[in-house]
Amino acid sequence: MTDDVRNVIVVGSGPAGLTAAIYTARAALEPLVIEGEPSSTSDQPGGQLMLTTEVENFPGFPTGITGPELMQSFRAQAERFGSEILTAKVSRLDLSAPPFSVWVGGPEGDPTYRARAIIIATGASSLMLGLDAERRLLGHGLSTCATCDGFFFRDQDICVVGGGDSAIEEALFLTRFARSVTVIHRRETLRASKIMQERAFANEKLTFLWNSVVEDLIGDQRLEGVVTRDVETDELTTHPFTGAFVAIGHRPNTDLFADQLSLRENGYLQTFDGRSNTSREGVFACGDVQDDWYRQAITAAGSGCMAAIDVERWLERQGH
């Protein structure tokens, strides 16, 4: 426990959190970024870009850059201006009144840190299908991250579940390794952007299983097959896929503060007036935890900048 009260603590280290860190650091607010810590290949500090292969649409990189490289640059830039970055998970937050309390390592005892302002940038996590077998087979043939695990599926027949940009991006990446990749989608048109669709349809290793949902995953120690159900005929089919990647969207990471701040109906953190203000004065939010609409690295970064400026003005108004 420290008696020091920091100006600002940023929780999360994706594009939003690290942009907030760059801006608050340059405003001499000496931010502390609590970046999270790895608990699996698909849960790493740095947010969803750590699980992304090529990023082609982040302005300033005309030939593209990998997600992890981009996040390493964000991090280096935040540190260059004096951000302190702590590799740990926040275990508890008390946002009842400033100074706000933050615990890391465990929720008991005195708080580890206190701060006049908090920026929440905890992002969003992959949704799963809700099958019992998922827990057993995650990491054993079942994955949510092609970048992390694609290499292990060389010359195998595998599938990707979903029809959005993530699913198509993962599927295209996986064709570099796998013998065949089948996209299993619950409708007969993709949600993915036109350019991704065109690439997908042009790739000979990719095939599509339309109007189909995954009903079960087969295998005790490792994935040995995937059972799909045709939503129109209810017909069940078992496919001998030895790899399955789930890419059906995300849920916002709000567990730490869901009972303390207003959430929207869909569970995303509510911000007000087109700014980063949350329902609690002094607590600001940016990135995917509060954005169910744009969900891009560049919009997350932009909202991190907004949160930093909002914090700066809030602290000024409080006389700090």
Q: Annotated catalytic sites, by residue? A: 145, 148-149
**Residue number, 215 or 281, with CB nearest to ligand NAP:** 215
Strands (E), the chain: 6-11, 32-34, 54-55, 65-66, 84-86, 90-94, 100-104, 113-120, 124-126, 142-143, 157-161, 180-184, 206-209, 212-218, 225-230, 236-239, 243-246, 250-252, 283-285
249, 315, 289: which is closest to 120 by C-alpha? 289
Site for ligand NAP in 116-135 (CB under 6 A): 129
Q: Which two tokens stand for residue 197?
A: 């669709």
* Amino acid (one-letter) located at 197: Q
Residue where the block lists tokens 């997600």: 67
Interface residue with ligand NAP among 7, 53, 147, 166 (CB under 6 A) is 166
CB of 184 to ligand NAP, least distance (A): 8
Interface residue with ligand NAP among 131, 213, 218, 298 (CB under 6 A) is 213
Q: Contact letters (x/-) for ligand NAP, 234-273, by CB under 6 A?
A: -------------xxxx-----------------------
Interface residue with ligand NAP among 35, 149, 165, 310 (CB under 6 A) is 165
CA dihedral defined by 73, 78, 84, 86, rounded to 10 degrees?
Answer: -40
CA 203 – CA 85 distance, rounded (Å): 42
Interface residue with ligand NAP among 26, 136, 191, 229 (CB under 6 A) is 191
Q: Contact letters (x/-) for ligand NAP, 289-308, by CB under 6 A?
A: ------x-------------
CA 283 – CA 178 distance, rounded (Å): 46
186 lines the binding site for ligand NAP (CB under 6 A): yes
Sorted by sequence, the CB contacts under 8 Å of residue 46 that are 6+ apart come out as 13, 14, 35, 68, 71, 75
Residues in contact with ligand NAP, total (CB under 6 A)? 19
**Residue number, 29 or 300, with CB nearest to ligand NAP:** 300
Piece of the chain touching ligand NAP by CB under 6 A; list 96-104, 175-183, 186-194, 279-287: 186-194
Q: Give the binding site for ligand NAP (CB under 6 A).
A: 57, 129, 161-167, 169, 186-187, 191, 213, 247-250, 295
